[in-house]
Each structure stands twice: as C-alpha cells, then as structure tokens.
C-alpha cells in the first residue's frame, strides 16, 4: 500500500509499506492492503509502519526504529485510506 505522512511543515514520507497502525481517538487500529475505506481522527500516540521506509535525511530524526517497526510520534491528526493509499495528516 502507498503511505504518505504529511505535517503542516513538510511531507515526511511518501512510499510503499506493508502495514500501518495509527492512534485513533478511540484506540489504535491497523490497516493492511485492500483495507476498507476509512476516514478517522487521530489522537496522541505513535504511527507505526511495517516495511522498508526510505526516509529523507532532513526528517529522519523524527522517526524511530523499533525492531521491524518504524514509528513517528504525533499529537493529533486525521487519516484517510482508500484504494490502497493511506494519507496521514499529522501534528
């Protein structure tokens, strides 16, 4: 699936990943390929990404590698998934 992580300052990541989990306002949820369409608000927590991520050096300090998972701490945001494309708008 294609994942794009965008903040007000910059696009932090855009590329193909295996799976992504996000901190929904009512709890964490995960999306895989061919997941049903979703639009949701996000709360504080970690965006967790499974798969190889080619992260630009300018924003690499925002991400942490935890085993096979790459994480990004966020305060809030929204997520939209449709047609195997996930867009995370994060603060």
* Model confidence band, residue 81 (pLDDT cutoffs 50, 70, 90): very high
Q: Quote the pTM value.
A: 0.94
Position 7 scores a pLDDT of 96
Tally the domains of the chain: 1
The tokens for 33 are: 């390929």
Mean pLDDT of 80-85: 96
Domain that holds residue 51: 2-90
Rounded CA separation 46/82 (Å): 21
pLDDT for position 67: 84
- Quick: pLDDT tens for 11-70: 999 999 999 999 999 999 999 999 999 999 999 999 999 998 989 999 999 999 988 899
* CATH number reported for the structural domain that contains residue 8 in this entry: 2.60.15.10
């Amino acid at each position: 699936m294609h994942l794009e992580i965008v903040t007000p300052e910059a696009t932090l990541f855009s590329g193909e990943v295996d799976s992504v989990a996000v901190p929904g306002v009512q709890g964490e949820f995960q999306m895989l390929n061919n997941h049903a369409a979703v639009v949701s608000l996000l709360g504080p927590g970690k965006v967790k990404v499974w798969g190889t991520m080619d992260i630009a050096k300018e924003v690499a300090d925002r991400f942490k590698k935890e085993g096979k998972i790459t994480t990004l701490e966020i305060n809030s945001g929204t997520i939209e998934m449709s047609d195997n494309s996930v867009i995370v708008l994060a603060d």
